Amino acid sequence: MGPYVFEGRIPLNADWLVSRFLPWRTKYAGLKPHNAELDDPAINIYPLRLEAIRQWREGLVPLWNPYIFCGMPLLADNASFPLDPLNVLAILFGMPDGYALSILAQLVLTGWGAYLFLRSLGVSGLGSFVGASVWMLNGTFAVWLEYGFWIGAVCWVPWALWLYERSRERWGFAAFGGFILGLSFLGGQLQIALYVLTFAAGYAIVDGIVCRRARAPLLFLGLAVLTSAAQVLPTIELAARSPRPPQRYTETNALKPVELLSFLAPDIFGDPVHGYVGAQLVGISFVGRHGGYVGLLPLVSSLAALRRRDWRRLYFAAVGFGTVAFLLLLNTAFQKWLVGVLPGFGTVHARRMIIFFVMGASCLCGFGWDALDPRRTAKVLCLLALCPIVILVLIVAGYTSALSPMAALRALGVLILASVLLRFLGRASLGEDEPPAAGVRLCAGALALLVGFDLYLGGWDYNPFCDRRLVYPESEALAWLKANHPLARVSGAEPRNADPWKGDILPPDTGLVYRLFDVRGKESLYPRAYGALMEEIDGRGIPFLVSVHLWTGAHRSPVMDQLAVEFVVSGNELNLPALREVHRSDLIVYRNVQALPRWGVRYPLSDGAEEAPVTEGQSRLLHYGATDVILRIHGWPESDNGRRLRLLVAETFAPGWRSFVNGNEAPIAFRERTLQRIVLAEDGELRMAYEPRCFRYGLALSLLALWAAVGLTWLAGGSTCTLPAVSPAVR
């Protein structure tokens, strides 16, 4: 985060966005992005987080996002995280500074918490510093830094475990630790938060068994689950309605044996910044490998920690190294058997379990640092140095071009320098808080700094930091649309040969930043029915798994008229009968003259009949908000055959939408369809509101958890927890 702290540059791949897509590409075509592999932070993560912050600053609870997919849940999307406590920074300082500050706060929190946790386990100050450095600067965090939801889930767990350890003195701390652990779900992706919960739950359960205490683990885990409810319940409801192919990740879940080399040098197969050299060996992108690098000396010290065996070290080793073994085992028929037993296993990215290895190795290397024999460790590092030497020999001899010589040289340099420093230390213990000689102190400190520098260097080279002027610069065409048609729904017309995943023009969800109501969108969770409708409209046979892009021909569909797509933006001339050019600057803007209004078209209320609009009723918009719309309805009589009519609302239906006419609830018909249809019986004021019950129930449970955590911690007060007699080695 140095480029942000000292230069004010934002940790975002905005340089990639503006140099690749219209409308910005014409101005920034010559700009070379630092990391062309990252995409989600700029086109998905940042816009969604921005919308959540905007709604908070406007005094709204960020429940609904009206700007993508004809509207969809915002809080439940598992990407915007409106309830993340660190959002207070963005609310106070605005975006993009709030975005950068929250990432910086995540790193500080996770490092500081890891240091306190390791100190509470009896690790020395220097050992705790090294372990905290690994926890904070590991390769996984470097790869996923800009995404936010990885560190956002993990940054709370060391604080929770530190409070859990303090519950040995006052049992109430276990309750507050559980509340802190639950915050992982409020600021982190559900899958990562579940891994974090599993790691902490395993620790608490093993502790309860070994130390023969039940109250602390139960409070710890119970309060964590309750705290997460406000975020988890809406997300589960949305996930149940979202398209998740059952075998999506089975081809990429396994860790190939050759990838173990990246645990010695993270960029041994190349990287997106300097180019790939070994893509054919691993068959997966750098970000797709999810990191896992913890440093060379920390890896050795993690193994050295096992020279002494107590339940904590064995637990961290089982979780960390056991995860690596499990991912390697997925290369065999074991994965096919596992998918047969657990059909949902193929829908999740099992490689993300590498976070278990990172957390386990971080804790182990703190213990191992205190147990290192400097001379013996120097010999081990010298033997380990044979690996990069062999790689360099193979490269020079021409036997392989799939490995990076620079990565091997860097690993060799770190190993040699660490060996020299360890030789200077002699037989002094690294675990002593006050080494006897100034030279020993200097060498031990230099060794710890070398660990931090090695980890920091990998992130420095990989992570993009861009000039803040590149973060969604102004567009003349988009500004014209927003100024003249603020509530109009828009779409982008892609060339037929455009990238089916990212597109070419105003990629979803970037229109959200400019507050444009886009019929397209990009979300890992979005309504399955809407995706099926868009695939039918597009007609190219491309499955829309997480992102909806529409090529030019899709805008011939009459369904686009029903979706109230009034404007279409393009970088090329479009020759479609219903489109009329109305503006030309950095984009060409077309008006769809056949588009139906977002509110106000009557449909006969009948089952099974072909739907067709009849004469329009009169509706006047009184208020438009993210979660509520108020219309004045008049001239809306019953149809000729006496049946009531319904109002088509071009807004995606989701559980939680309710409608009221003159204060009386009006039913929403055809809930299984994409758009909302409201049955009208009389003229008057129509109010549509998004009030999801799952959020109300979840919020009540989360507030109950907060009340219980504070109350139990206060109630425990000065009372201490008396543990059964257990041997010091076990405790």
For residue 730, the model assigns a pLDDT of 38
3-state secondary structure of 690: strand
User: 686 with 659: CB under 8 angstroms?
Assistant: yes
- Name the amino acid, one letter, at 245: P
For residue 607, the model assigns a pLDDT of 44
pLDDT single digits (tens) 383-418: 888 888 888 888 887 777 778 888 888 888 888 888
Count of domains for the chain = 1
For residue 246, the model assigns a pLDDT of 57
pLDDT single digits (tens) 261-297: 888 888 888 888 877 776 666 767 777 777 788 988 8
For residue 120, the model assigns a pLDDT of 93
Q: Is residue 676 part of a domain?
A: yes
| Cα–Cα distance measured from residue 420 to residue 237, given in angstroms and rounded to the nearest whole number | 57
Q: Is residue 611 part of a domain?
A: yes
Q: Report phi then psi at 658, rounded to 5.
A: -135, 150
pLDDT single digits (tens) 138-177: 988 888 888 988 899 999 999 999 999 998 888 889 999 9
pLDDT grade for 2, boundaries at 50, 70 and 90? confident
Higher pLDDT, 690 or 635: 690
pTM for this model (two decimals): 0.90
pLDDT single digits (tens) 569-608: 998 888 888 999 999 999 999 999 988 888 865 555 444 4
pLDDT single digits (tens) 633-677: 776 555 444 555 677 788 888 888 888 888 888 888 664 457 777
Task: Name the residue range of residue 614's domain.
Answer: 601-693
* pLDDT, average across residues 318-333: 91
Which of these ranges, 12-21, 192-201, 527-536, has the smallest mean pLDDT?
A: 527-536
Checking if the pLDDT of 347 tops 80, the result is no
Checking if the pLDDT of 618 tops 70, the result is no
Which of these ranges, 13-17, 350-354, 438-442, 624-628, has the smallest mean pLDDT?
A: 438-442
Percent of the chain with pLDDT over 90: 38
First to last CA, the chain: 38
In this structure, the strands spanning 489-492 and 565-570 are: parallel
For residue 727, the model assigns a pLDDT of 38
Q: Is residue 38 part of a domain?
A: no
For residue 498, the model assigns a pLDDT of 79
Which of these ranges, 609-618, 627-636, 655-664, 679-688, has the smallest mean pLDDT?
A: 609-618
| Cα–Cα distance measured from residue 120 to residue 253, given in angstroms and rounded to the nearest whole number | 36
pLDDT grade for 432, boundaries at 50, 70 and 90? very low
Q: Is residue 237 part of a domain?
A: no
Range with the largest mean pLDDT of 66-80, 333-347, 671-685:
66-80
469-473 long-range contacts (CB < 8 A, ≥24 apart) are: 470/14, 470/15, 470/17, 470/18, 470/28, 470/31, 471/10, 471/12, 471/14, 471/46, 471/96, 472/14, 472/510, 472/513, 472/514, 473/18, 473/24, 473/27
Higher pLDDT, 181 or 523: 181
Count the helix, strand and coil residues of the chain and give each as a percent rounded to the nearest 5.
Answer: 50, 10, 35
pLDDT single digits (tens) 452-499: 888 887 777 788 899 999 999 999 999 999 999 999 999 998 887 777
pLDDT single digits (tens) 56-95: 999 999 999 999 998 999 999 989 999 999 999 999 999 9
Q: Is residue 368 part of a domain?
A: no
User: 243 with 531: CB under 8 angstroms?
Assistant: yes
Percent of the chain with pLDDT over 70: 88
For residue 606, the model assigns a pLDDT of 47
3-state secondary structure of 657: strand
**How many Cα neighbours within 13 Å face the side chain of 27?**
16
| Cα–Cα distance measured from residue 430 to residue 298, given in angstroms and rounded to the nearest whole number | 13
DSSP H or E stretch at residue 306: none
For residue 681, the model assigns a pLDDT of 66
DSSP state of 122: T
pLDDT grade for 683, boundaries at 50, 70 and 90? confident
Three-state SS string across 554-602, please? HHHCHHHHHCCEEEEEECCCCCCCCEEEEEECCCEEEEECCCCCCCCEE
Core vs surface per residue 160-176: b (16+ CB within 10 A) or e: bbbbbbbbbebbbbbbb
